[in-house]
Each structure stands twice: as C-alpha cells, then as structure tokens.
Amino acid sequence: MAQEVSSISRVGTSEPFDLQLAREQISFHKTQFKFGFNPDIDDTLETVWAQGGLYSYLSAATVLKISSSSTADTSAGTGARTVTISGLDANYDEISETITLNGQTAVNSTLSYLRINRMVVRSAGTGGQNAGVIYAGTGTVTTGVPANKYATIAIGDNQTLMALWTVPRGYTAYLTQTDVTLATTQNNKYCTCSLVVRPYGEVFQVKDRFVKAESTTTLTYSVPLKIAEKSDIEYRAIGDSVGADIAISAGFEIIYIENRPYPE
C-alpha cells in the first residue's frame, strides 16, 4: 500500500483540523463514530442496537464466545469467515483481535473483555456477508446463540450496529455531534430518544433528549460534551405505545484525547 503523503500544514499552509484527525496526524488524538440501529421500539426502554432490549454490561473482564446462528459462517463457508472484535480490557485499555468463525460452534476469544465496542466481519466466502447473526456472548450456546449477548451482527450487516461506546482509560472524550433518524408505518406515533452517560462508579445520566415523530435530526455541539475516562455512552429510546413499531438509527461523533501534562 502506498505511503500517505505528509500534511500540507507541515509546509506552511493550512489544512482542516478534522481532515488531519482522520489522517491520524494530530498527536495524542483519536476519533470514533459510533452508530446503531434498532428495528422495533415500542413502549419499553431499549438501547439503540440490533439485538434489541436494554443493553447489559459485563461486570468483569471475560473470555467471550463468538458464534453464528448459521453453519455457513465458518472458515471455509459461503458466509462470514473471520471477525475482528474491538473493546476494552480489565484496565479499560483498548484491545482487539481477529477470530476465525466455526459456524454455530462457539470459538473462545483469546483476550478477556470488559467492554465490546465493535465487531467487524473481515473476510467471507462467496456470499460476501454473514449468513447468520454473529454473536459475542457468554453462557450456554444453543444453535449458535449464547445465553448472554454483548454484541451482535445482524444478517448481512458485516458489522455491529451499536450506539454505545466506553471511553478508554487515560483519555477524555469530546462528543461533537449526534444524529437520530426514526420512522414507523403507524400514524401519530412518536419516540423519546435519550443520550445517556454513566461516569465511572456512578449511574446513567441524561445528557440530551429528543422527542420525535418521523424525522431526522443532526445536532452539532458548538461546545463539545466533555466525557471522562471509563464512562459508558449510550443511546436509548422508548415509543409512546405498544404498537408504535418505530425503527430508529442513532449515532454520535467523538474526539478522544490522551490525558497528558501540558505544555509538551
């Protein structure tokens, strides 16, 4: 792969800060765009993630079982073959590994995870995508489905859709933008969407809220929301009635900066 050229800002001219971030040319800075989807929100509070229901966090770093609901998601199958897991370890430090799938038979992760931030299919057979739902979980696995689910990739998505993320140890996050879209085939239905943050050792607190009928909202924070290390960030939603049948997508953009003494 060709080497990326140097930033023009290094030769006396200017380049947008956001572009330099994306090019990884700003020391001690990282970026994260987290987005999720929930196909059916009714009158019970749920996390915006493909699995549905309210997300349950791991209480201790744990070896995970990676499996699929389809036998085609295996090392020589037509579906997904390998998947990368990214998350945090017991110290809240970023970790990642790639697992070779074995269909409905669970494969243990090599590392132990306290948080899972994302899973991505890296290779697949002739189908070009995951044939079944891919899970990262714990407990008994039945036909590829673990008892406790901490990340799922819906059929054909090739990556998790989870509107949640945890700030790594040693970093402070700055949330710069959120996006919420919802739709329903039902008339006169609406949804309450909440951006919530749980600082380390505390409880979830509402940081922003949208009450919406069918629409899309993009909100840029002129002063980014500052979020401390080890904090959990999540989008949650609830519909106005049993038959609301609301599909929702939500996401947020973050810059997270290493905590360092200044000046350098």
Q: Which of 26-35, 57-66, 92-101 is predicted with the least confidence, judged by mean pLDDT?
A: 26-35
Of the pLDDT bands very low, low, confident and very high (cuts 50, 70, 90), residue 186 is confident
Of the pLDDT bands very low, low, confident and very high (cuts 50, 70, 90), residue 5 is low
* Domain span holding position 224: 8-54+164-258
Residues 67 and 94 in one domain: yes
Tell me the pLDDT tens digit for each residue of 139-149.
999 999 999 99
For 199-257, give the DSSP string: -TTS--EEEEEEEESSEEEEEEEEEEEEE-TT-EEEEEEEESSTT--EEEEEEEEEEEE
Residue 1 lies in a domain: no
Q: Which pLDDT belongs to residue 23?
A: 85
Residue 158 lies in a domain: no
Of the pLDDT bands very low, low, confident and very high (cuts 50, 70, 90), residue 260 is confident
Q: Which of 153, 172, 207 is the last residue of a domain?
A: 153
Residue 117 lies in a domain: yes
Residues 6+ apart with CB under 8 A from 228: 167, 172, 173, 199, 200
Peptide bond into 224 cis (omega under 30): no
Please return the burial class of 257, using the count of CB atoms within 10 Å of its CB with bins 0-12, 13-18 and 19+.
middle
Residues 134 and 210 in one domain: no
* For range 220-234, the mean pLDDT: 97
Question: For all residues of the chain together, what is the average pLDDT?
Answer: 93
Is a pLDDT exceeding 70 seen at residue 262?
Answer: no
Q: Which pLDDT belongs to residue 9?
A: 59
Q: Which pLDDT belongs to residue 2?
A: 60
User: How far is it, in rounded angstroms, from Cα 248 to Cα 115?
Assistant: 23
Is a pLDDT exceeding 60 seen at residue 255?
Answer: yes
Residue 252 lies in a domain: yes
Residues 139 and 188 in one domain: no
Residues 172 and 249 in one domain: yes
Q: CATH code at 204?
A: 2.60.120.1330
Residue 233 lies in a domain: yes
Tell me the pLDDT tens digit for each residue of 100-141.
999 999 999 999 999 999 999 999 999 999 999 999 999 999
Query: Hey, what are 243's tokens?
Result: 């038959």
Q: Which of 153, 183, 205 is the last residue of a domain?
A: 153
More confident residue, 157 or 184: 157
For the entire predicted model, the pTM comes to: 0.91
Share of the chain above pLDDT 70, in %: 94
Residues 84 and 24 in one domain: no
Residue 128 lies in a domain: yes
The structural domain count of the chain equals 2
Residues 191 and 149 in one domain: no
